[in-house]
Structure 1
Amino acid sequence: TPRTPSTPRTPRTPRTPVDVYRQAQHLFHRSATPGQLVGRQAERQALMAFLRRPCFDDDAGIHIVPDAAEQHVRGALYISGVPGTGKTGLVRECVAADGAGTATDGRAWKVAFVNCMDVGDPKAIFAHAAAQWTGQPLSAVPVADGLPLCESLLLPGHHASAAHEKDRAQAAPTPGPARPSTAYLMVLDECDQLLTRSQDVLYKLFGWPHVPGARLVLIGIANALDMSERMLPRLKAKNAMPRHLHFRPYGSREIADIIRGRLMTLSPSARSARSTTPRGPSAVPLMQDAAIEFCARKMAGLGDLRRALDVARYALAALEKEHVARADATSGDGGGKGSLVTVGHVLRVTSMTTANQSALQRLKALTLVQKSVLALLASAAPWPPARLTVRALADHYAARYQRGDVLVPLTHTEMDDVLSGLEATGLIMLQS
């Protein structure tokens, strides 16, 4: 039966407009700051305990921590972990949370956060830190002045002249409450970029927190598990090794939670597009639960959260492209079926990213420790045996490099991390 003529309708506003897709894609950019990091509770607690542990004294300098079993002071921490494990982000979050720039013992924090890849000459690190602590532009602090300026701030008792120390000792005490002294925090991201032949710069930086009267708390961040032990052996001889906090690669459950958490920060209008699960509608917009789980499992082998976020962003971009094409074909109504990222979207993105990297490129991208483990696996018979465990491989590796100068034995946990990274490249396969 012919339909009764009616007034043409104005095209409906798309239920998931293009700006919503772009808003979602922005959440997965590497430069995005989505708020509190999801997961990493053990690492968060360790970092906050390190930042809040009292270690300064106006007269005696740094206190040894109360626990006699610990041989380290609060003043130096080395953080290791493969790229994309949240090291830098969590440090920034914890520093910001620690009293918004005020140390918990009542002293004001002055923070210098330096990415060492931007420094160039390792000796310029002192000028970068001094500029941030004093509030000057970097151009106003010559490289040659950086070291003495840092010493005057961090080691006032050692840097001051003898006459000044004598005058201060003879001066009458000032009435009234004592003014709290300043504590300086230096965070060195990618600190392995400061490695030199003599390692003078790193020895000085990691040695400063152990100087009596020093006002420095140092956090170094890098990828290598054993940089401080392997490249800075004199620290151990001086009982000045930094505390070590290792970030394990993200697991699939953590990656999935992070993706869901970012999508849930979308505006209320964006949350109208949700997937449906056997238990009812999902709380997460724009991506099917199955697609999130598939993306997390696919990227968990890499342990690099940034790669998982890239895949989610590319999948959302593909969905936006489909939405625009569908909207053009339907006079502006692009909503409805197909408005969610599916497993198919994620599969296409991951297939494209892995196919673009050859085996040679993957080998060149390996760390020295990963290459040494791979070489051990590929060595002649009777090694490796037909069935090999992580424990057995770690023991064999330790025997091979027991007295090595460059390569040192790995713990079973460290070997597990190295093997997970190799599996992520597709060069080996692990079985439970």
Structure 2
Amino acid sequence: MTNGPDRPTLAAWWEHDAVKIVVVIGAIYVAYAAIGLSLGYSTSGIANTLRRLTYLIALYGMVTLALNLHWGYTGLFNIGVAGFMAIGVYVTMMFAKSPDPSGGAQYPGLGLPIPIAMAAGVLAAALAGLVVAIPALRLRADYLAITTIAFAEIVRLTFTSSALQEFTIFGVELGTGGGRGIIADYPDPMNVIFELPAFETFVDLTNSWFGFGPRQARALAYAMTLVAFLAGFYWLIQRTSRSPFGRVLKAIREDEQAAQALGKNTNLFKVKVFMLGCGLMGLAGTLWWFRRQGVTPTAFRPHVTFYIWIALIIGGAGSNTGSILGSGLFVAVLFEGPDYARRVILANVEAGDAPNTFDAAVAPLLSGDPSPLLWYAFDELLTLQFVAMGVVLILLMQRRPDGLLGHREETAAAVPLTRRSTEAPAAQPGGDD
């Protein structure tokens, strides 16, 4: 990029979205590491905290990008995200489980290779999106939201139902496990990487740098794999948004009737993008839970969708870069932040006796003693986390409804429409979305 005399170098670099992501996420890592060092945490403890941050940011980033495809680009109000994630991971696990379970692995599966099982989960989530999209084509805003959240609850309660705890379809025995969920009995999907000779070198390096053992090194390798998947999500949605298909989606978001007047079959476009986004949500859900020992329906309660929406609103609807930044800030400040703050306080202050009730905590304020209320709030910090999320959401909607990077200036044309000039072109505002 050519810098003019009145354009500072730092401002020119800041126009790159990759720089924004690296700077913000890097600042989060530095803040967490600095707090850990000040508290005397070991190198392995700090590295493990940053590894968990990376893991969560990558996962929330993927789902937020998929939701941005629905709401940010097309204006489809989907608040049934958790349901599509559940379909993806449940179908994947049922397809991957052994057909002859042993050792308390519950009900049989199909025993298919893991890549095929994951593809089946993505396809099932996309088909579920088709089932929701077709009858909801004429619904907008609140009505579409009601349809999607109802569908997500139907999915969760269906997986909880004892009727599907074990069932037979086309002569094949399968099962969701009911309220107990599915217990995994398939090999670790990361074994393809763990068995490489280069992974032994990776284990040695992480051991010498951070004091990691093999188990922690595997967790770090998986976090890095998720970052690669996040980059793939970003690339896919970027290409989609810049394609003719993506420009029609933006036209539907701004004025669906105008898009129809131009001869576009808006219903077909909405069905396609809804299926694509739901398939990506199913893949993200699979990546979230697939390496664990199992999954239960309680993992997909409505608050999961609420979290994803907060991340999208923080970053700004319509911006892929904002989706990643919003996910990073949500995880660091609102999701992991309260628990980290709790550990910081416990490391520096001797905890007092917390009252059992709110009345007992408030009453001493009349005599000028705020400590019972403070310790009560500290004892209920993880519960107050939901209150903090609600307050942040209200403030965002009042003060900055567009989020950090929402509604960035963009052009409808795929090529520049300005006249050619021998002079260096002036910098244009805008972004990747």
Do they fold alike, i.e. is TM over 0.5? no
Q: Which has the larger radius of gyration?
A: 1
Q: Smaller-chain TM-score range?
A: under 0.3
Higher helix share: 2
> Taking structure 1 as the reference length, what is the TM-score of the superposition?
0.23
Higher relative contact order (CA 8 A, sep 6+): 2
The structure with the greater share of residues assigned to strand is 1
